[in-house]
Amino acid sequence: MRIGIIGAGALGLYYGAMLQRSGQDVHFLLRRDYQAIQKRGLQVYSCHGDFHLAQISGHQTPQEIGTVDLVIVGLKTISNHHLIDLVRPLIGTETAILTLQNGLGNEELLAAAFGRERVLGGVAFLCSNRGKSGTVHHLGEGKIRLGEFSGGLSQRSHKLAELFRAASIACDAVSDLRRARWEKLVWNIPFNGLSALLGKDVTDILNHPPSKVLVEDLMLEVIAGANAQGLEEPIDGPEFSQQLISFTENMDHYRPSMMIDREEALPLELEAIYSIPLQQAMAVGINMPQIKMLYALLDFGENDSA
């Protein structure tokens, strides 16, 4: 399969490298890593074993990539105002688009430009960070849950899940993409936000009892908002939140992406992870006051650093 990667950061580089290693024809849209990768290839440092790809199909413009069978979008949502122009040159008559971006609103943006029938979404439970140019560090996890934007299980979603599994990436096809998106937000909203605001990693946050209680409260607010969205099956708040707490307790001093972005004075993905979920919850009569306050504090920091 000919695959184009739009957004070759920690997520795009890792998944793209795994797919290429499994034999897929992968093409990366590269920015800051272009020269390094052209010269030295791509180095993946992984908890499952390091590997090096000496030859990478790297491109500086989407026009150089041309049409593909599958577009995988890993672009930070802060750059979504460029997304349609980046994806358009890759679209052929049968091209599918899979967005693995954070938060809500990404599938809607792509569907409005290219049609609902092309669009799938996925949530990636991946612990990875960028290293020096031409390197990516995979620290743990990596599972993907993907589904059709239009809903329901499809032969296409099953085939894409198998494509990832053949590349040693755990992947499931789901019938309710909206539920999967909100489940990811149950982790992203508290841990990304608090780590960026406090400058503390996930282990530090959970080791501070009042902060751990706050994480649990934030998770339950997200779940209340999720369960009002007409999901196929509601999320069990107490059970699911404790599963995520236990999961995070094994992520030894992991630094979420938003913490790194704040440290590097980069803009945060506030609209997709906070603003749109808050709007969707309010639209069905659910108030999330603690999340609203967390969003306000994060946004204040953005304006302060501007």
Are residues 133 and 193 part of one domain?
Answer: no
Split at pLDDT 50, 70, 90, the class of 301 is confident
CATH number for position 224:
1.10.1040.10
Q: How far apart are CA 69 and CA 281, in angstroms?
A: 35
Are residues 226 and 167 part of one domain?
Answer: no
Range of the domain at 268: 178-305
Are residues 240 and 224 part of one domain?
Answer: yes
Taken in order 240, 241, 245, 248, the sign of the CA dihedral is positive
Catalytic residue among 184, 200, 212, 292: 184
The answer on pLDDT for 259 being more than 50 is yes
Looking at the whole model, is its pTM more than 0.75? yes
Which of 158, 175, 192 is a domain's end point? 175
Are residues 211 and 152 part of one domain?
Answer: no
The answer on pLDDT for 305 being more than 80 is no
Are residues 200 and 80 part of one domain?
Answer: no
Are residues 150 and 189 part of one domain?
Answer: no
pLDDT tens readout for residues 192-250: 999 999 999 999 999 999 999 999 999 999 999 999 999 999 999 999 999 999 999 98
Are residues 233 and 90 part of one domain?
Answer: no
The answer on pLDDT for 306 being more than 50 is no
CATH number for position 103:
3.40.50.720
Are residues 128 and 74 part of one domain?
Answer: yes
Are residues 228 and 118 part of one domain?
Answer: no
Which of 120, 146, 175 is a domain's end point? 175
pLDDT tens readout for residues 35-55: 999 999 999 999 999 999 999
Are residues 183 and 165 part of one domain?
Answer: no
- Considering only CA atoms, give the Rg of the chain: 19
Are residues 218 and 102 part of one domain?
Answer: no
Catalytic-residue membership of 184: yes
Task: Provide the terminal-to-terminal Cα distance of the chain, rounded to the nearest Å.
Answer: 42
Are residues 201 and 243 part of one domain?
Answer: yes
Which of 142, 175, 208 is a domain's end point? 175
Q: How many domains are contained in the chain?
A: 2
Q: How far apart are CA 259 and CA 50, in angstroms?
A: 25
Give the residue among 160, 150, 5 at the shortest CA–CA distance from 87.
Answer: 5
